[in-house]
Amino acid sequence: MDLHTLSVAALQQQLRSGAVSPVEALDALEARISAVDSKIGGYLSHNMTHAREEALRADISKPLGGIPIAIKDVINVTGEPCTAASKILQGYTATYDATVIQKLRAAGAIPFGRLNMDEFAMGSSTENSAYQRTANPWDLSRIPGGSSGGSAAVVAADEAYASLGSDTGGSIRQPAALCGCVGLKPTYGRVSRFGLIAFASSLDQIGPFTKTVEDSALLLNALAGRDPMDSTSIDTPVDNYTRLLGQDLKGIRIGMPKEYFIEGIDPQVDTAVRAAIKQYESLGAEIVEVSLPHTEYAVAVYYIIATAEASANLARFDGVRYGHRADNVQNIVDHYMRSRAEGFGEEVKRRIILGTYVLSSGYYDAYYLRAQKVRTLIRQDFSRAFEKVDALICPTSPEVAFKLGDRSDDPLKMYLADIFTIAANLAGICGISLPCGFANVDGTKLPVGLQLLGKPFEEAKLLQIAHAYEQSTPWHLERPVV
């Protein structure tokens, strides 16, 4: 048995039976990372000494007892670097645990390693990191998706049993689709954002990457809940997210948004997703066509609201207290300008400039205020659709993973990679991506992702629907050869 290939649920069984110790599970990961991460580039760092100390005292009777969970480098873990893959935070060490890390520890898990990402979570390919590129385990010449590309790649390559990422406009679901693993974006407010370096505060949400839907449910059980440290977290009861797994789909209605099945989708992606829809029908679900009429405005609305919030959130990074500081500055203004110019990458600068522009005097009403009004219309579209159906089904990404460097010089084309994921963040609903087949591109198998979107705070039903499909198909059992 290769320990590193196990799911969280399978490893849990091994640990509880005494067949495997937490230290052995960690050692298996270390060996796998040593063997393949030089090709993948998923980890920015990992502290084996500290992780082994935690493994030695792990309580395996707890829900996630003794299980290592890898962490996107935008979530604070005490004593670990937290750079958001940016030069401006180079050398910064976190002084506290994010709430999700506290919750993982309380459940017995071992936070382990720092994962590569697009700088400040701004990107769709993990090529914007200040430190390294991450490759797709299915084809090392292709991108893993972004911004949580490291989080997806290490799970797909069996370098992690599970990982945490963040999703602002698709940054969990899109890389999960392109790497062939499961990515869950919980409802906005379901999981605390305290200790997450903010990109866009009204859109960001932390969620898990896993090998199976069951594992996503197990992690959400640990992560979900009201947090007094996060004013946007919602005080609503936490479900047992494994409760509905295994139940049939009789009586379940699933909506096909006609705006998500359009020209321009890769034909192989379209074929795989339509086959998944047929599979749902065979499982007893009723498929209903629905309309989300304001979908066409989602990308424009997102890039106004997200950049506006980013320009405000990133103003705090000035090189005064921590992180990159320019040398030989002339005065305080020179210090700010040069430290930020040197510390931020091109994409981050682009978004700060865009956000500052749409918030500026004379443009606020024309752009930001109007975008917020259209956001309300998008949210209302989903509310009306969910009056008729239990979930929505569509592609996660319009295409499979593209080549590294293909879109580096075309920001607009890069932004369109998230066209099917952005609206869920604007509406604040939950969503999941899971494997639904493969495309054959020049003789290479590349994963296709199926996206399911659910009603706010109904993750248990969303996971039930995802699990039923997953267990009736072989796609989640396929692993890349790295």
Average pLDDT on 99-116 reads: 98
Q: Tell me 263's DSSP state.
A: T
Catalytic one among 171, 192, 216, 233?
Answer: 171
Please report, rounded to a whole number, the percentage of residues in the chain having pLDDT higher than 70. Answer: 100
Helix (H) or strand (E) holding 449: strand 444-454
Domain-by-domain residue ranges, the chain? 3-254+386-477
Told to judge if 72 belongs to the known catalytic residues of this protein, a careful annotator would answer: yes
pLDDT at 131 over 90: yes
How remote is the C-alpha of 226 from its chain's centroid? 20
Of the pLDDT bands very low, low, confident and very high (cuts 50, 70, 90), residue 411 is: confident
> Is 339 one of the catalytic residues?
no
Does 362 have pLDDT greater than 90? no
Task: Check if the beta carbon of residue 79 is closer than 8 Å to that of residue 93.
Answer: yes
CATH superfamily name and code, 3-254+386-477: Amidase signature (AS) domain (3.90.1300.10)
* Amino acid identity, position 440: N
With CA atoms as reference, report the closest residue to 88 among 130, 44, 146. Answer: 130
Would you call the peptide bond into 147 cis, given omega within 30 degrees of 0 as the criterion?
yes
Mean pLDDT score, 171-176: 98
Give the pLDDT score at 374: 98
Please give the average per-residue pLDDT across 357-378, as a whole number: 94
* Sheet bearing 110-115, strands edge to edge: 43-45, 110-115, 68-72, 163-166, 206-210, 182-185, 430-441, 444-454, 391-395, 253-257, 286-290
**Average pLDDT score, the chain:** 96
Rounded Cα distance between 165 and 147, Å, is: 9
* Amino acid 415: pLDDT: 86
Classify residue 108 as exposed, middle or buried by CB count within 10 Å of its CB (0-12, 13-18, 19+).
buried
Q: pLDDT tens, 143-153?
A: 999 999 999 99
* Residue 201 pLDDT exceeds 80: yes
Mean pLDDT on 98-103: 98
Catalytic residue check, 21? no
Q: Is the pLDDT of residue 63 over 90?
A: yes
- Helix (H) or strand (E) holding 352, with range, is helix 346-359
Per the CB < 8 A criterion, the answer to whether 472 and 277 are in contact is no
More confident residue, 1 or 462: 462
Q: Which helix (H) or strand (E) is 452 found in, with range? A: strand 444-454
Q: Over 80: is that where the pLDDT of 1 sits?
A: no
Asked whether the predicted pLDDT for residue 166 surpasses 80, the reply is yes
Mean pLDDT across 406-422: 88
Residue 436 confidence (pLDDT)? 98
Which residue of the set 7, 124, 129, 147 is catalytic?
A: 147
Question: Mind listing the pLDDT tens digit for each residue in 209-257?
Answer: 999 999 999 999 999 999 999 999 999 999 999 999 999 999 999 999 9
How far apart (Å, rounded) are the C-alpha atoms in residues 355 and 339? Answer: 19
Alpha-carbon distance of 330 to 337, in angstroms, equals 11
d(CA 463, CA 434): 11
Residue 263: the pLDDT is 87
Secondary structure letter of residue 397 according to DSSP: S
Q: What is the structure's pLDDT at 416?
A: 83
